[in-house]
Amino acid sequence: MTQNISTQPYKGTRDFYPEDCRVRTWMFDKLRTTLGRFGYEEYDGPMLEPFELYASKTSEEIVNEQLYWLVDRGDRKLAVRPEMTPTLARMVAARIQELPKPIRWFSIPNLWRYERPQRGRLREHWQLNVDVFGGSRPNEDLEICQLVHAIFDGFGARSGYEVRLNHRGLTNFIFSDLLKLPAEKHASVGRLLDAAPKMGDSKFLAALAEEQVTGKTAQFLVDLLKPDAAKRLEKDLKNCAAWQELTALLQRLEALGLRSHFRFDPSVMRGFMYYTGLVLEAFDLHPDNNRALFGGGRYDNLVGMFGGPALSGMGFGMGDVTLRNFLEVHQLVPNLQAANGVLVAHLSEAQELDALRLADALRSASEQRVLTTLSAEKPKKIFAMAERLRVQYVVFVGDSEVTSQTFAMKNILTGDQTLGTVAELSFKLKTKS
C-alpha cells in the first residue's frame, strides 16, 4: 500500500469542508428561493454526456482545448459536461411537445474545463443556469433582467453592481450600416471586440490591422470600448431595429423602478458567435473586484441539432466562484459559523443511555441540532468540545437530573443557565427565547 498519495484535491478543484459547504448551501438556497418565486423549476442531467453533444454545438476552443473526455468500456466517447446548455437542449428537445409553456427552468450543475487555474476560474465550478422560452421575446428579455436584479436583491446587494446590456442586432448594424465592414469580416472582428477589454487599445488596434481594419473604422471600434460610447452612438442608431428593442427594454426597466442597475454598453459581446438578440453582462463595481460576474443572452433555435421546431429563448449562467467573490468583497455573506444547538453531556457511563434519551427527546420536541459527546467526559473537556463543535448550549445529565427529570442547560456564550424539563428546554431552544 502506497503511503505517499497527496491529500490535496486535483489542481483547479476544491474540497468543500463543512465551513465551505455551508457557504455554498446558503448561496444555492438563496438562488433557489428567488428563482422559485418567479416560477423557475429545477432540472438536472447526467455528469457525462455523449461527446457528439458538444462536438457540434459548443465552441471549438472548449472542445479542442478544454474538454475532459473518455472512452467507456463499450467504446462510447463521453465528455464531462463543460457547460449545461447542450444538456438543456437535449432534454427540452426530447419533450418539446408536452412541456408546459412558457418553460422556466434552472439548474446548478458542476462543470469541468481544462483551464489554467486563476482567481475566479477553476477546472471544476458550479454554475447556475437560468433559461426561459416559449413566451413573447420582449417579455422574456425583461423577465430575465428582473430576475438578475431579484437575485442580487435576494443577497442584499442594493448597489455595487451593474448589468450591461447590448444587442447582437445592434452590433450587426454597426458593422454593416455604420462601418460598412464586409460580411466575411464580421465574425473575426466580433471575436476581437469580445477579447478587446483584456487586450488593451494598442494590441487591439494591431490585431484589427491584421484583419485589414484600420484608420477611422479601427478607431471607431476602439472608441466603442470607452465609457461614453453609448451616448455618442445613440444618434447613429435611430434607424436600427435592435436599438429600438433595447430602448423599449430600458424604458420598461425604468417603469418598474429597476433602470439604475442597467446600462447600455455597445462593447458587451459575451462570446461573439452564440447570441442572436439581447446580450447581458453583470459587472462588479467594487474597486477590489472590478470584473464581469456573469453573462447571458438570447439565442435562436436551442434545439436545432435535434431537428424539430425552432425554439428561441433567453438565459444566463452564473458561476459559484465569481458569485462568492462578489458576496465576500461586498460583505454580504452572513456569519454561518455561529454557535447553535445543544451538546448533551454525561459525566459517567451510568448516565449514557439517559443522555441519549434526553438528546432524542430534545431533538423531537425542539427540531434543533442536538449532539451527544459519544463518551463520558469531565466538564472541562465538555465545554471545550462544545465550543469546537459550535453549539450554543450544554446540558449535563447526572444521577439527580435523571431522577428529577429536570435538567440544567447552560448558554456557553452568555453563561446563563436554565433549569427545566424536556418540554421547557425544548421551548427555549425552539423560540431562542
Taking the complex as a whole, how short is the minimal distance between the CB of residue 311 and a second copy, in angstroms? 13
Closest to a second copy by CB, 55 vs 332, is: 55
Residues 6+ apart with CB under 8 A from 287: none
Closest to a second copy by CB, 128 vs 237, is: 128
Closest to a second copy by CB, 179 vs 261, is: 261
Closest to a second copy by CB, 112 vs 243, is: 112
Query: Under the criterion CB under 8 A, does residue 8 sit at the interface with a second copy?
Result: yes
Preceding peptide of 102 cis, ω within 30° = yes
DSSP per-residue string spanning 158-201: SSSEEEEEEEHHHHHHIIIIIS---GGGHHHHHHHHHHHHHH-H
Looking only at residues 366 through 395 of this chain, which bind a second copy when binding is defined by CB under 8 A?
367-375, 385, 388-389, 391
Closest to a second copy by CB, 266 vs 313, is: 313
CA 192 to each of CA 167, 185, 222: distance values in angstroms, whole numbers, following the listed order: 17, 11, 11
The three cell numbers of residue 234 are 445613440
Query: Under the criterion CB under 8 A, does residue 335 sit at the interface with a second copy?
Result: no
Query: Under the criterion CB under 8 A, does residue 227 sit at the interface with a second copy?
Result: no
Query: Under the criterion CB under 8 A, does residue 157 sit at the interface with a second copy?
Result: no
Contact 361, 368 (CB under 8 A): no
* Binds a second copy by CB under 8 A, chosen from 97, 136, 414, 433: 136
Count Cβ atoms below 10 Å from residue 406 Cβ, excluding itself: 14
Which of these segments, 167-175, 202-210, 301-309, 325-333, binds a second copy (CB under 8 A)? 301-309
Looking only at residues 180 through 219 of this chain, which bind a second copy when binding is defined by CB under 8 A?
none
Closest to a second copy by CB, 125 vs 270, is: 125
Closest CA to 373 of 360, 361, 386: 386
Closest to a second copy by CB, 8 vs 403, is: 8
Q: Please name every residue paired with 299 in a beta bridge, in sequence order, or none if there are none.
A: 313
Contact 51, 69 (CB under 8 A): yes
* Binds a second copy by CB under 8 A, chosen from 229, 357, 398, 406: 357
Taking the complex as a whole, how short is the minimal distance between the CB of residue 255 and a second copy, in angstroms? 5
Four-CA torsion 217, 220, 225, 230, nearest 10 degrees: -140
3-state secondary structure of 338: coil
Which of these segments, 213-221, 271-279, 300-308, 325-333, binds a second copy (CB under 8 A)? 300-308
Query: Under the criterion CB under 8 A, does residue 118 sit at the interface with a second copy?
Result: no
Query: Under the criterion CB under 8 A, does residue 305 sit at the interface with a second copy?
Result: yes
Binding residues for a second copy, rule CB under 8 A, total 97
Q: What is the largest CA-CA distance in the chain?
A: 94
Query: Under the criterion CB under 8 A, does residue 18 sit at the interface with a second copy?
Result: yes
Query: Under the criterion CB under 8 A, does residue 38 sit at the interface with a second copy?
Result: yes
Closest to a second copy by CB, 308 vs 398, is: 308
Q: Residue type at 120? A: G
Count Cβ atoms below 10 Å from residue 415 Cβ, excluding itself: 7
Count Cβ atoms below 10 Å from residue 364 Cβ, excluding itself: 11
Count Cβ atoms below 10 Å from residue 248 Cβ, excluding itself: 13
Looking only at residues 79 through 98 of this chain, which bind a second copy when binding is defined by CB under 8 A?
80, 87, 90-91, 93-95
Q: Is the dihedral of CA 169, 170, 171, 172 positive or negative?
A: positive
Looking only at residues 389 through 428 of this chain, which bind a second copy when binding is defined by CB under 8 A?
389, 391
Taking the complex as a whole, how short is the minimal distance between the CB of residue 264 and a second copy, in angstroms? 20
CA 277 to chain centroid, in Å, comes to: 23
The three cell numbers of residue 132 are 426561459
Closest CA to 303 of 97, 52, 88: 88
Query: Under the criterion CB under 8 A, does residue 260 sit at the interface with a second copy?
Result: no
The three cell numbers of residue 416 are 446563563
* Binds a second copy by CB under 8 A, chosen from 83, 131, 140, 401: 140
Looking only at residues 43 through 82 of this chain, which bind a second copy when binding is defined by CB under 8 A?
43-50, 52-53, 56, 65, 68-70, 72-73, 76, 78, 80
